Structure 1
Amino acid sequence: MTMDHRTTFAGPSPVWHPFTQHALAPEPPLVLRGEGAWLTTATGERILDAISSWWVITHGHCHPRIVAAIRDQAGELDQVIFAGHTHLAAEALARRLVALAPAGLAHVFFSDSGSTAVEVALKMAVGYWRNIAEPRSRILALEHGYHGDTIGTMSAGARGIYNAAYEPLLFDVTRLPFPAQGREEATLTALEAACREAPCAALLVEPLILGAGGMLVYPAWVLAEMRSICDRHGVLLIADEVMTGFGRTGRLFACEHASVMPDILCCAKGLTGGALPLAVTLCRREIFDAHYSEDRRRTFFHSSSFTANPIACAAANANLDIWDEEPVAERIAALGALQEERLARFHDDARFASMRRLGTVAALDLAVDDPGYLAGIGLELAAFFRERGLLLRPLGNTIYVMPPYCVTAGDLDRVYAAIAAAAEHFGRG
C-alpha cells in the first residue's frame, strides 16, 4: 500500500502499543515528521519531545548527517549475516567505541536493544566463570533497578508491576538497597556482605541514575566504592549505560564521573543518535579470552538475525562523527545549566519534592495523596501535558525532563510553565 500524508485508515487500529493499557489510553496521535526537538502530527499539530522519544534522540530528530549516512549505507549494503562475515561500518564503529569507552574494554558484541545488551552482559558474565572452571551464577543488583523486559533483564530488575505476571519465569538475584542520600553506607555494607556470603558472578548497576525506577540519583563516590568492593571479591561489574550513555549525565559515559572502569558496559538508545535500534556490549579482554578456545562448547552462544546491521552501524558512526566534529559537550553543559535554572523555581514549592538533576536529566516529584507508578496521576499528567503540545511521560507522580541536546531555552520555558500549571491543577501542599 502506497501512503502519503493524506492516508486514512478505516476501523480500529490492530496495533498493540508498548507499556499501554488500551482500555484507558486515548487514541494516540499519528506522527508524520520529526525535526530537532519537535514532532508534527497528521493534523499539523507540533509536539515538543521533552523526553527524547523514550530517551533515545540525542542531537535531534532527523539529524541531517545521520539521515545522509543511513541513505548512503542503504544503497550500498543493507544487511549481511554477522556470523562468519563482517563489514566496514561495524569494524569502524567497534574500533571507535573501544577508543572512547572507559579504558580496558577491548571487545564489542553487537545486538539490537538495551534489553538484549544487558541480557548479553549477564550471559557473558556467567559464561566467563563457567569457562574458567569457577562456575558462578549469582547476580547482584540495586533495588528499584530496571534493565529491560527480556527474561534475564526482568529477573535482574526490581520486582513489581513490570514483571509480576511473569514471576514463574524469573530467576532470583540478590538485591542491594538503593544508595539514597544519607543511606549510602547501607548499600556498600550490603554489597560487602553479599560478596562475602557466597561467590557472585556480577553486580549489575545503572551508574549514577536509575531511569524507570524513578530517575533516582546517587553520588559518583558510591559507584567508585562499589567498584572497589567488587575488585576485592573478584566480582564482575556490569554498567548498564543504556540510558546514561552518550551524554545524558554530562559525560559521554556516566562511569567517567567516578573514574570507574566496568568489566562489561552496555549501550543502546543514543548509540545511533536515536535514529535506529542498535546496541553494544563491551567487555574486558579476559572475558573474551575465556570464550576463546578450540573447544566449540566455549563459544558465546548469542545472536540475532540483525546483529550489527550495516545501516544501523552507519547511523552510529555518523553519531560519533557529530561528537567528534561538533561542540556536543558544550551543548550538553549548556542544557544542564538551563535545566538547573528552571528547576530552581520549584525548590521552595511545597507541591514538589526531591528536585534533582544529573547532566541533562531533571526530575521532581509532585506531592499527591497516591504516589507511585500505577497512581492515576501519571496518566492524568501525561494527558495534561499532551493537551499543551508536550511529550512528557511521568513515572507516576515523578515528572522528568530529558530533551534532545538541540532544545532551546524557549522550549524549556514552555515545558516548565506546563509543570507549574500542573502543580496548580493537581498538586497539594
Structure 2
Amino acid sequence: MTLSERDKKHIWHPLTQHQTATPPIGIVKAKGALMWDENGKEYIDGIASWYTAMYGHCNDAIITAVSNQLKELDQIVFTGFTHKPAVELSEKLMAILPSHLQKIFFNDNGSTAVEAGIKMALQYHFNKGEKRNTLIAFEDGFHGDTFGAMSVSGLSVYNGPFEDFFLNVKRIPVPQKHNLTEVLSKLKEIISENNCAAFVYEPLVQGAAGMKFHNAEGLETLLQLCKENEVLCIADEVMTGFGKTGTNFASEYLKTQPDIMCLSKALTAGVAAMSITACSQVVFDAFLDDEIAKGFFHAHTYSANPLACSAAIAGIDLLTSAEIQNDILRIERLHKAFSEKIKAHKKVAAVRTLGVIFALDLNVEMERYGTLRNILFDHFMAEGVFLRPLGNTVYILPPYIISNDQLHKIYNTIESALSIV
C-alpha cells in the first residue's frame, strides 16, 4: 500500500474537507529547495513548507547542531531548570531583536506565541489594577487557531463556528495611503470608547489574507497612538520574521517598536516545533511581585526544548551570514524582475514584492478553497512546483538557498498557469 492509502485509514489533515479532498501526496525525502514523493517525482518547494525551511530542507549545519545536542540533552522541564541551548539562544536573539525587547518566553507554535502575548497583555493591565478587556486587530488578519489567536483573526473561513466564544475584539482596516485618516479616526474612537489592552497586528504583510501589504507610515501612526494611550503593541512576526521581508524582522521598517513580538516558523528552520513571545522589560516587570499569582502562570511541556533551541541557534547563525544575506538580496532582485515582466498580463490584477515575498493577484474571482484554486494547485504540482494559492493570490516565499534556475522554473510555471484561469 502507498503512504496515501495508509494515511487515509486514520489521519485527519489540517485545512482539509475529507469528503471531497484528493488523497495527500506522500513525501519521502527533502533536501535544499527540493522534495521527492514516494513515486520519485521531484518538486521545488516554492513556499519553504509554510515559511519554515528557509535555509533549505535538511540543512547540514542545522542537522549537525541538532545531532550534537541530541547526544547531550534531549528534553528537560523548563520550570526550575535551564540549559545551555536556551541561554545561548536568548543571547543570539538579543543581538538581532529590537533592542528594547529584553525577555523571551518559550512556547511551541505560532498560535501559542500569540496566545501567550495576548495573555501577557491582559495580565499586564490586570496586575497594575486596571481592567482592560478589549483587543484591537486588523480586518482580515490571521494569528492562529487557539482561541485568543482566533479572536484577533479576521478570516471567518477559519473561525466561523467559534465566533460566539471569542474575546472582545474591535477591528480596523489596514492603513494605506488613501485611507489613513479614516483608519486613524476609527482607532481613536475605539480607544476612547473601550478599555483597550493591546493592538495585535501583522507588520506590513498579512500572510493568510493573501500576502496583502499595507503602508509602513500608516502603521507607524497607529502604533504611536496606541503607545500614547498605553495600549500594548503585539507584533505577530510568525510569518514575517527572520529575513523574509528583507530585514530580520518587518518591525525594523518602523520607528515605533512593539512591546511584545511573536516568533515561530523559521525560528527553528523547519526542524522542530517551537515559538517565542518576546517582551520589553517594562512588560516583564509588571509580573514581579511578592504575590505569586501575579506571575505568568502559563506553560508548555516542551518549552525551550534543547533540540529546538539548537536548531534555532544554527538558524540564526545562517541568517546573519553574508551568504544568506546575499541570497535574500538575490531573490528580491529576481522577484522584482519577474514582477516587471508579468504585471501587464491581462490575467494579472496586481503584483507586489517585499524581500523574498512575491505575490500575484489573478484578475478572476476565486473561492479560497474552490475548484479553480484546486486546478491551479494541481497544475503547479504536475509541473513539479509546490505552491499553495490563497484564493486568487499566487505567492512565492522560497528557501533562501533556492537556485536561480529553480526560481525561474517557478516563474515559468506561474506564467503558464495564466492560460488556464
Shorter-chain TM-score tier: over 0.9
Task: Kindly report which structure 2 residues correspond to 1:277-426, keeping only aligned pairs within 5 A, or say none.
Answer: 277-368=273-364, 370-426=365-421
Deviation string for 1:160-200 (max 9, x for gaps)?
11011122322230000122452233222222221222331
Task: Kindly report which structure 2 residues correspond to 1:10-409, keeping only aligned pairs within 5 A, or say none.
Answer: 12-368=8-364, 370-409=365-404
Tell me the CA shift for residue 326 of structure 1. Answer: 4.1
Is the 8 Å Cα contact of residues 49 and 391 (structure 1) preserved in structure 2?
yes
Aligned CA distance change for structure 1 residues 410 and 133 (closer, same or farther; 3 Å): same
Separation of aligned partners in 2, 1:8 and 1:122: 39
Is the 8 Å Cα contact of residues 107 and 283 (structure 1) preserved in structure 2?
yes
Tell me the CA shift for residue 295 of structure 1. Answer: 0.6
Tell me the CA shift for residue 153 of structure 1. Answer: 0.6
Is the 8 Å Cα contact of residues 375 and 397 (structure 1) preserved in structure 2?
no
Separation of aligned partners in 2, 1:10 and 1:160: 32
Q: TM-score, normalised by structure 2?
A: 0.96
Is the 8 Å Cα contact of residues 223 and 260 (structure 1) preserved in structure 2?
no
Tell me the CA shift for residue 261 of structure 1. Answer: 1.4
Tell me the CA shift for residue 372 of structure 1. Answer: 4.0
Is the 8 Å Cα contact of residues 109 and 281 (structure 1) preserved in structure 2?
yes
Separation of aligned partners in 1, 2:304 and 2:348: 44
The alignment yields a C-alpha RMSD, in angstroms, of: 1.7
Count of aligned positions: 421
Partner amino acid, structure 2, of 1:77: L
Is the 8 Å Cα contact of residues 8 and 23 (structure 2) preserved in structure 1?
no
Tell me the CA shift for residue 420 of structure 1. Answer: 1.4
Separation of aligned partners in 1, 2:390 and 2:6: 33
Q: TM-score, normalised by structure 1?
A: 0.95
Structure 2 equivalent of residue 3 of structure 1: none
Separation of aligned partners in 1, 2:395 and 2:7: 35
Is the 8 Å Cα contact of residues 262 and 277 (structure 2) preserved in structure 1?
yes
Separation of aligned partners in 2, 1:8 and 1:236: 46
Separation of aligned partners in 2, 1:21 and 1:239: 31
Tell me the CA shift for residue 371 of structure 1. Answer: 2.7
Tell me the CA shift for residue 379 of structure 1. Answer: 1.6
Deviation string for 1:141-170 (max 9, x for gaps)?
000100000011111100411011122322
Partner amino acid, structure 1, of 2:249: F
Separation of aligned partners in 2, 1:346 and 1:34: 30
Deviation string for 1:119-141 (max 9, x for gaps)?
00000000000001112121000
Is the 8 Å Cα contact of residues 287 and 295 (structure 2) preserved in structure 1?
yes
Aligned CA distance change for structure 1 residues 15 and 183 (closer, same or farther; 3 Å): same
Separation of aligned partners in 1, 2:191 and 2:3: 59
Tell me the CA shift for residue 258 of structure 1. Answer: 1.5
Partner amino acid, structure 1, of 2:129: A
Aligned identity (percent) is 37
SS of aligned partner of 1:161: helix
SS of aligned partner of 1:201: strand
Separation of aligned partners in 2, 1:10 and 1:40: 18
Deviation string for 1:379-405 (max 9, x for gaps)?
221111111111100011110111101
Aligned CA distance change for structure 1 residues 375 and 188 (closer, same or farther; 3 Å): farther
Separation of aligned partners in 2, 1:329 and 1:293: 43
In structure 1, the gaps of 5 or more residues are 1-5
Is the 8 Å Cα contact of residues 102 and 260 (structure 1) preserved in structure 2?
no
Separation of aligned partners in 2, 1:211 and 1:169: 24
Is the 8 Å Cα contact of residues 106 and 283 (structure 1) preserved in structure 2?
yes
Deviation string for 1:301-327 (max 9, x for gaps)?
111110110000000011112134442
Q: Which runs of 4+ in 1 moved over 4 A?
A: 6-11
Separation of aligned partners in 2, 1:379 and 1:301: 44
Tell me the CA shift for residue 10 of structure 1. Answer: 5.3
Aligned CA distance change for structure 1 residues 262 and 222 (closer, same or farther; 3 Å): same
SS of aligned partner of 1:365: strand
Separation of aligned partners in 2, 1:255 and 1:174: 22
Is the 8 Å Cα contact of residues 245 and 267 (structure 1) preserved in structure 2?
yes
Separation of aligned partners in 2, 1:302 and 1:45: 44
